[in-house]
Structure 1
Amino acid sequence: MKQSNTLRAIGGLSVCAVAAGFAVAIGGGIATAAPGSTTWTDQYSTFTRTIDNATPTGDDTVTVTTKWARIDSNWEKLNWVKDYHSTCLTYVSGSAKVTDAAGVHTIEPYVEMAADYTAVDFTSLGYQPTAKRGVDTPILSIQYKVGYDCDRGTILTAGLIYNGSRGTGIYTNPGPSIRVAKNTSTTTLDAVPARTKVGQTVPLSAAVTGGADGDIVEFYDGTTKIGESSLAAGKATMMWTPALGAHILTAKFLGTTKANESVSPAQNVPVAPADVATTTSVTGPATAVAGTDVILGVQVSPAPALGGKVQFKDGGTDIGGLVDLDTQGNASTTAALAAGNHAITAVFTGFNEHLASTSGAHNIAVTPANVDTTTTVTAPATATTGVEVELVVNVSPTSAGGTVQFMDGDNKIGLPVTVVNGKATLKHTFTSAGTSNITAVHSDAAGNVISTSEIRTVTVTDTETPGGGNIGGSLGNIFGS
Structure 2
Amino acid sequence: MRRSSAVVVAALVGGVLVAGGVASAAPTSSPAVENTIGFKLGCDGYEHPGLGSISDEFHSTGVTISAPEKVAAGSTFTYRVQPGAMTVPTSGHAGRSAIRWTRMKYDFDIPAGVSLVDAQVVAGTSSNLSGAAPSVIRINDGGSPDAAGTHLRISGNNQTADSNGGGGNGPSTSKNDDGGIGAEAGKTFRLPAIDVTVIAGGAGSTVQPKLRVTDGNSGSFDSPKNAFTFLQREKDVFTVAYWERYNCSPHDSRSAGLNAGGQALATVNVVSQVATTTAVTSGASATIGQSTDLIAQVSPVPTGGTVQFKDGGTDIGAPVAVVNGVATLPHTFTAAGDHSITAVYDGVLEFLTSTSPARTVSVAAADVQTTTALTVPSSAVEQTSVALTANISPATDGGTVQFKDGGTDIGGPIAVTAGAATLDHTFTTTGSHSITAVYSGTAGFGGSTAQAQTIEISSSALSTTTTLQVPAAAITGSAVDLTATVAPNNAVGTVQFKSNGTAIGSPVTVSGGTATLSHSFDAAGAQSITADFTAGAGFVSSSASAQTVTVSDPAPIDVETTTSLSVPATAITGAAVDLTATVAPNNAVGTVQFKSNGTAIGSPVTVSGGTATLSHSFDAAGAQSITADFTAGAGFVSSSASAQTVTVSDPAPVDVETTTSLSVPATANHGYGG
Same fold (TM over 0.5): no
Q: State the structure with bigger RCO (CA 8 A, min sep 6), 1 or 2.
A: 1
TM-score by length of 1: 0.31
Answer with 1 or 2: which has the greater Rg.
1
